[in-house]
Amino acid sequence: MSFLNKLLDGHEGGLKHEGMTPMQKIAMRFVVIGLLYYGLAALEGMIMRMYEIKPLPFIDESHFFSIMTVHPMVGIFGSSYMIVFGAFLFLTPFLMKKPIYSIKMANQSWMFIGGGTLIMWLAGFLFSYAPLYTLYWPLPADTEQFTAIGGIVYIVGVVGIMIGTFLYTYNVFKTIVYTPPGWEKQPAGELLKSALGITGLMNFFRKKDTEHLVPLPIAAIARGTIDVGLNAIVISTAGVLILIYLVANGLFSADMQGTWVDALLYKNIFWWGLDLVADGLVLVFVAGTWYLLAMMISGKDLYMQNVARAALFLEMVVSWTVWSHHLMSDQGQSNTLKVLSGEVVTAFELVTQGIAVFIVLTTLYKAKPIKMTNELKFLLGGILGFMLAVPAGIIQADLGMNRVLHNTQWIIGNHVHVAILVGLTMTLYSAIYVLFPILTNGVKLYSQKLANAHFWLHLVGGIGMGAFMGMAGIDGMLRRTIYYNGEYNTYMILAGLCGAMMLLAFVLFLYNIIMSIGLKGLLGIYQPSPMDTHECIAEAKDK
């Protein structure tokens, strides 16, 4: 077979759409778009790395800061949300052995999130809308600094993402508790209690354990999805508030004062909502994904399942009470909140994450000898990423250290980028590698050598970039600041080289996937089918 034929049709025949179920197609739709948005975010990251070394002639400052504004939003919502939601919309009915509640709603979800991300990105690309913290205080509605149309387009994109998120949230919980047509009535209340961890929590106080009605991974999906829904409410509310100011002041020349909103209250609500994702959702979803991957890779039951369920419930509670570590440098913030929420609760994340790491590694150890597959390598890489990033977060969540590290490259490098690019992304890659043959009905990976290169380039590049950015931060390099005199060039050049390694890793991975399933297979998953409009399917009943 010629190279062109392989590129079009895939390795050894590629992807056969006629054999795919609707849920396999939907999961692939989510994941492919998520990977493309990851590539966009990686490219934007490299542009910023290069600009920090020496400003680029074809990008002015306003465009640089607009890239910095949309970069995390594309990475989190366009990439991570899409990949996670696609996997969980497939796994929820698959593991519950019942049809998904609404396949139409699942399709609408990826369309809203993917389309909303594109609209939001265009606000930066076309209108240089660049409030940096996007929806944070002060409200990015200053029409003297930004055009009203740019802000309006941005918020419309954000609202689209949140609509898709609400659809995902409703679909997941409805799938867990509803009774499919023709089935015996299912105990919705007991299913919900099991999914939320209430059954597992009560088992600690019973002489005889009550049976769990939902598998452990479903419990993690359900608890993380609660945080997704709550975060969507907060972000949507902030977006609508900013939209009101943009329309009133920018289009109708009204005089709505920023003082009409209590700044401190707004910041607390904003960070509470954002940390449901940043600290809660990531750790809950990631821990649940680790548990599922550990069981699939080892072929064994999870070690200490009751403890794992209880720890997931505890992590959800922690995610609701940890937000104040973002406000340690805010003089108006209560000292009580800074200490209890900012320091004590944040430090407790070492316990909940440590429990998850111990359970996963013990499960894998008890299954030895075990083959070092792609999914296992990336799972271990993801665990390593969080073992590095979580302690870095604990260090900066100290009132003394926060005065030194706040608003520096340490935070965005050692903590955020290592957590997301090494911890979260390598976990997602592990899930993609393990689900790939399931979603494609057994299509073989084109090249194992490319997969190995993908692993090492991403691992070394991710840790290296975070470390060099962190070193620059310790030396005083601020976030969201352009340095024209080259005083941090050594760190930025090294960080840029590591970033290039990760970008190359993604290109190799994407090439490997395309050569495995073919361009025809890739494009074919977006062709509509009659099942796309059906409210539910019965494909999971016999699995």
DSSP state of 525: T
Residue with tokens 């620059």: 472
Q: Is residue 541 classed as helix, strand or coil in its secondary structure?
A: coil
Asked if pLDDT for residue 372 goes beyond 80, the answer is yes
Asked if pLDDT for residue 540 goes beyond 70, the answer is no
- Give the model's confidence band at 470: pLDDT under 50 very low, under 70 low, under 90 confident, else very high: very high
Asked if pLDDT for residue 537 goes beyond 60, the answer is no
- Give the model's confidence band at 475: pLDDT under 50 very low, under 70 low, under 90 confident, else very high: very high
Torsion of CA 253, 257, 258, 262, to 10 degrees: -150
Q: Which of 132-136, 285-289, 396-400 has the lowest mean pLDDT?
A: 132-136
Asked if pLDDT for residue 543 goes beyond 50, the answer is no
Which sign does the torsion angle of CA 321, 327, 330, 331 carry?
positive
- Give the model's confidence band at 539: pLDDT under 50 very low, under 70 low, under 90 confident, else very high: very low
Query: Per-residue pLDDT tens for 209-227?
Result: 667 788 888 888 888 888 8
Q: What is the mean pLDDT of residues 311-323?
A: 82
- Give the model's confidence band at 243: pLDDT under 50 very low, under 70 low, under 90 confident, else very high: confident
% of residues, the chain, pLDDT over 70: 90
Query: Per-residue pLDDT tens for 21-32?
Result: 888 899 999 999
pTM, 2 dp: 0.91
Half-sphere exposure of 252 (CA within 13 A, CB side): 9
DSSP state of 14: -
- Give the model's confidence band at 6: pLDDT under 50 very low, under 70 low, under 90 confident, else very high: low
The pLDDT score that the predictor gives to residue 542 is 42
Q: Which of 135-149, 363-377, 425-439, 446-460 has the lowest mean pLDDT?
A: 135-149
CA distance 508 to 400: 43
The pLDDT score that the predictor gives to residue 212 is 75
User: How far does Cα 113 stand from its chain's mean position?
Assistant: 13
Mean pLDDT, the chain, rounded, equals 87
The pLDDT score that the predictor gives to residue 532 is 59
What DSSP line would sit under 76-108, residue for residue? IIIIIIHHHHHHHHHHHHHHHTS--S-HHHHHH
% of residues, the chain, pLDDT over 90: 51
Q: Please list, in sequence order, all residues whose beta carbon lies within 8 angstroms of the beta carbon of residue 361, skipping any fewer than 6 positions away.
A: 383
Q: What is the mean pLDDT of residues 325-340?
A: 91
Helices (H), 304-345: 305-320, 335-337
Asked if 159 and 240 count as a contact pair (C-beta separation under 8 A), the reply is: yes
User: How far does Cα 354 stand from its chain's mean position?
Assistant: 20
**Radius of gyration, alpha carbons of the chain:** 23
The pLDDT score that the predictor gives to residue 454 is 97
Q: What is the mean pLDDT of residues 33-41?
A: 95
Asked if pLDDT for residue 538 goes beyond 50, the answer is no
Q: What is the mean pLDDT of residues 509-516?
A: 93
Q: Which of 51-65, 78-92, 515-529 has the lowest mean pLDDT?
A: 515-529
Asked if pLDDT for residue 1 goes beyond 70, the answer is no
Q: Is residue 178 classed as helix, strand or coil in its secondary structure?
A: coil
Higher-pLDDT residue of 451, 443:
451
- Give the model's confidence band at 47: pLDDT under 50 very low, under 70 low, under 90 confident, else very high: very high
The pLDDT score that the predictor gives to residue 251 is 73
Cβ burial 512-521 (10 Å sphere, 16+ → b, else e): bbbbbbbeeb
CA distance 320 to 276: 6
CA distance 489 to 466: 15
Query: Per-residue pLDDT tens for 385-398?
Result: 999 998 998 999 99
Tokens of 4: 């062109």
The pLDDT score that the predictor gives to residue 422 is 95
Q: Which long-range contacts (CB under 8 A, 24 or more apart) does 327-335 make?
A: 327/267, 327/268, 327/271, 328/397, 328/399, 328/402, 328/406, 329/402, 329/403, 329/406, 329/407, 330/264, 330/267, 332/263, 332/264, 333/264, 333/268
- H/E stretch holding 495: helix 489-517
The pLDDT score that the predictor gives to residue 92 is 92
CA distance 200 to 194: 7
Asked if pLDDT for residue 120 goes beyond 90, the answer is yes
Backbone angles phi, psi at 212, to 5 degrees: -80, 125
CA distance 53 to 366: 48
Asked if pLDDT for residue 280 goes beyond 70, the answer is no
- H/E stretch holding 374: helix 374-396
- Give the model's confidence band at 255: pLDDT under 50 very low, under 70 low, under 90 confident, else very high: confident
Q: What is the mean pLDDT of residues 470-491?
A: 92
Q: Which of 34-43, 133-142, 181-190 has the lowest mean pLDDT?
A: 133-142
Q: Is residue 478 classed as helix, strand or coil in its secondary structure?
A: strand
Backbone angles phi, psi at 513, to 5 degrees: -70, -45
Asked if pLDDT for residue 248 goes beyond 50, the answer is yes
- CA 249, 121, 237: angle at the middle one, nearest 5? 50
Asked if pLDDT for residue 194 goes beyond 70, the answer is yes
Q: What is the mean pLDDT of residues 187-213?
A: 75
Max Cα–Cα distance, the chain, nearest Å: 71
Tokens of 480: 């969201």
Burial class (CB in 10 A: 0-12, 13-18, 19+), 358: middle
CA distance 259 to 503: 44
Asked if pLDDT for residue 244 goes beyond 90, the answer is no
- Give the model's confidence band at 7: pLDDT under 50 very low, under 70 low, under 90 confident, else very high: low
Q: What is the mean pLDDT of residues 326-351?
A: 90
Asked if pLDDT for residue 438 goes beyond 70, the answer is yes
